[in-house]
Amino acid sequence: MSIAVVGGTGDEGFGLALRLARAGEHVVIGSRIDERGRAAAEKARGILGGGAGARVDGASNAEATAAGDVVLVTVPFAAQADIYRSIRDAVRRDAVVCDCTSPLATAVGGRAWQVLRPWNGSAAEEAKALLPPHARVVSGFQAVSGEALQELERPVEGDVLLCGADAEAKAAVGALVEKIPDLRWVDAGALTMARVIEPLTAILVSVNRRYGIRTAGIGVTGRDGWGRPPAKEA
Amino acid sequence: MSIAVVGGTGDEGFGLALRLARAGEHVVIGSRIDERGRAAAEKARGILGGGAGARVDGASNAEATAAGDVVLVTVPFAAQADIYRSIRDAVRRDAVVCDCTSPLATAVGGRAWQVLRPWNGSAAEEAKALLPPHARVVSGFQAVSGEALQELERPVEGDVLLCGADAEAKAAVGALVEKIPDLRWVDAGALTMARVIEPLTAILVSVNRRYGIRTAGIGVTGRDGWGRPPAKEA
């Protein structure tokens, strides 16, 4: 199995690539320019101690996507539509695509604690609209700090809220979440829930700003463990 | 000091009234019909062991508001505008008004995991628009389960995200949060942040539904303690 990280040269994508490669996964870091993808992969291998261990390759976003059983898309909202158009023909028929975009107002010169309302309701629904119908779209990771992901010696606090129509696709992304120490995943329902989950990023930016920190995260309380919900999905 | 709970006969309001009276506060439970407010107060005194201890009174919403140094407004979105109009002239000049409304789509026959977009951006901003300019409006408590509040023998897990323009008003509501065992408060910024905080309720409803539970809550990770942020507010 291979995991593509589209936009994998950014903080969030690079952090996810590091964590998943460290957990033994084969990761392909994609970038708009394939050389940058390859350079990021080399950097990742260096951080992870290269040698026999880390399996990280670099490529263009489309090449990475073509290799991915799971495709994590970690791009700024301003670039989201263009990048999805550039990968849509490369998405494998059985691939799970996890959109990690937050529609922050920075995309149009606004503040990172403000959000835009995408035409389809959420960035994840934009992704769905831009991809071929066979793509199994999941939304997640918006509230996990890219910086925290890159601090490999520390576990990552917080829960990843995943939503989407396909329970197996959510569980596949959830299995990757569980490979990152201390992170848990919570099934938050249908893809439309991304409309209320994506803006969590803005809350965390606002909280970080108030308290002068950089690592605020979201946890879900009320159950000892999360992960795959009990059978009988609604 | 007195705390008014407008809509205090509902789960959330009654739970908050119980918890705060138990912590020694004087609470006035308001209802649209004053007799129902008085009945709820009597019920609360019964639960709390009455006698010398619990100071809980009942009244109409307007009477409760007139008595309140802090006014907690815990009403369904469908009733929010009417109820604010009924209390606006009773709000004391120095009062802090904490709006706890979530604009769930149930207000118009939709589902509790769907939200509406209020005209002013959030229910809290609706409240501000409906109140006199002197009202010190805070938004909070949307993600705290009314049922959990009423289970007096158990601490309440989760964090209360407070937002609003007035730092002292947030700290006043925060001081009440701290009277409820295990609850903490987090300053999430300006009142407009309610646009992204209020919909958290919908996420929790969706999570509860998936996992067959009733007590999902939100926690904020990334700092040992929360409460009043360090000086120099932006």
pLDDT tens digits, B201-221 = 999 999 999 999 988 999 999
Best mutation target among B125, B191, B206, B233 (most A Cβ atoms within 10 Å) is B206
Question: Which residue in B has a C-alpha nearest to residue A148's C-alpha?
Answer: B222
Spell out which residues of chain B touch residue A212, defining contact as CB-CB under 8 Å.
229-230
State which H helix or E strand residue A186 sits in: strand A184-187
> Which pLDDT tens digit goes with each residue over A51-79?
567 899 999 999 999 999 999 999 999 99
Contact A226 B211 (CB under 8 A): yes
pLDDT of residue B215: 86
| Facing A203 at nearest CB: one of B157, B188, B221 | B188
Residue A207: is its pLDDT beyond 80? yes
Closest C-alpha among A129, A134, A127 to residue A99: A127
Identity of the residue in B189, B210, B226 whose CB atom sits nearest the CB atom of A229: B210
pLDDT at B233 over 80: no
Instruction: Give the separation between CA B136 and CA B128, rounded to whole angstroms.
Output: 8
Stretch B140-147: mean pLDDT: 94
- For residue B170, the tally of other CB atoms under 10 A from its CB is 29
Mean pLDDT of chain A: 95
ipTM of the complex model: 0.88
Q: Which pLDDT value is given to residue A231?
A: 81
Tell me the β-bridge partners of A71: A4, A97
Residue A53 has a pLDDT of: 72
Model confidence over B54-106: pLDDT tens digits? 899 999 999 999 999 999 999 999 999 999 999 999 999 999 999 999 999 99
DSSP state of A218: E
Question: Could you say which of A189, A203, A222 has the minimum Cβ distance to residue B193?
Answer: A203
Q: Which residues of B touch A (CB under 8 A)?
A: 113-115, 145, 157-158, 161, 163, 186-190, 192-193, 195-197, 199-200, 202-203, 206-213, 215-223, 226, 229-230, 233-234
Q: Which residues in chain A have Cβ-Cβ distances shorter than 8 Å to B186? A: 207
Q: Do residues A2 and A92 touch, judged by C-beta distance below 8 A?
A: no
Summarize the confidence of residues A198-212 as an average pLDDT: 96
Q: In chain A, which residue's Cα lies nearest the Cα of B220?
A: A218
pLDDT digits (tens, 9 = 90+) for A145-200: 999 999 999 999 889 999 999 999 999 999 999 999 999 999 999 999 999 999 99
Check if the beta carbon of residue B171 is closer than 8 Å to that of residue A91: no
Question: Chain A residue with minimal CA distance to B112?
Answer: A193
Q: Do A207 and B189 touch (CB under 8 A)?
A: yes
Average pLDDT, chain B: 95
Q: What is the mean pLDDT of residues A3-11?
A: 97
Minimal CA–CA distance to B84: which of B41, B118, B35, B42?
B118
Quick check: B234 pLDDT over 70?
no
Please report, for residues A69, A178, A208, B121, B205, the alpha-carbon distance to residue A163 in angstroms, rounded to integers and kept in the order given.
18, 16, 25, 24, 14
Rounded to a whole number of angstroms, the distance from the CA of A176 to the nearest CA of chain B is 20
Residue B135 CA to residue B118 CA, distance in Å, equals: 20
CA atoms within 13 A on the CB side of A51: 5
For residue A97, give every residue at least 6 positions away whose Cβ sits within 8 Å of its Cβ, in sequence order, or none.
A70, A71, A73, A91, A127, A131, A135, A136, A137, A138
With a cut of 70, say whether residue B50 has pLDDT above it.
Answer: no
Neighbouring CB atoms inside 10 A of A34's CB total 16
- Cα separation, B123 vs A198, in Å, equals 19
Q: Looking at the complex, report in whole angstroms how far the Cα of residue B210 sits from the nearest Cα belonging to chain A.
A: 6
Pairing of strands A159-164, A136-139: antiparallel
| Nearest chain B residue (CA) to A233 | B210
Q: Answer whether A115 sits within 8 Å of B226, measured CB to CB.
A: no
Distances A55 to A50, B21, B178 between C-alpha atoms, Å? 8, 59, 49
Question: Taking Cα atoms as reference points, which of B198, B226, B185, B44 lies closest to residue B107?
Answer: B198
Residue A115: list chain B partners with CB under 8 A.
195-196
Query: How far, CA to CA in Å, does A83 sit from each of A32, A69, A126, A138, B61?
Result: 8, 18, 12, 17, 54
Nearest to A216 among B209, B218, B220 (CB): B220
Closest CA–CA distance from residue A37 to any residue of chain B (Å):
31
> Going by C-beta distance under 8 Å and a sequence separation of 6 or more, which residues neighbour residue B155?
B181, B182, B183
Question: What are B218's strand-pairing partners?
Answer: A220
Q: How many C-beta atoms lie closer than 10 Å to residue B130's C-beta?
A: 19
Burial A102-141 (b: 16+ CB within 10 A, else e): bbbebbeeeebbbbbebebbbbbbbbbebbeeebbbbbbb
Alpha-carbon Rg for chain A in angstroms: 16
Taking any CB pair shorter than 8 Å as contact, residues of chain A touching chain B are 113-115, 145, 157-158, 161, 163, 186-190, 192-193, 195-197, 199-200, 202-203, 206-213, 215-223, 226, 229-230, 233-234
Per-residue pLDDT, averaged over A83-94, amounts to 97
Q: For residue A7, give both structure tokens.
A: 């936009």
Going by C-beta distance under 8 Å and a sequence separation of 6 or more, which residues neighbour residue A167?
A187, A233
pTM for this predicted structure: 0.92
The confidence score (pLDDT) of residue A50 equals 60
Instruction: Tell me the pLDDT tens digit for each residue of A92-131.
Output: 999 999 999 999 999 999 999 999 999 999 999 999 999 9
Query: First and final CA of chain B: distance in angstroms?
Result: 29
Token output for A49: 């101690």
Q: Which of B157, B189, B201, B158 is nearest to A208 (CA)?
A: B189
Site from A211, A224, A226 to mutate, B interface, most B CB atoms within 10 angstroms:
A211
Q: Which amino acid is at A125?
A: E
Share of chain B above pLDDT 70, in %: 97
pLDDT of residue B123: 98
Q: Which of A114, A156, A203 to mutate to test the interface with B (most CBs of B within 10 A)?
A: A203
Q: How far B59 CA lies from chain A's nearest CA (Å)?
A: 34
How large is the angle between the packed helices B34-48 and B11-22, nearest 10 degrees?
A: 50
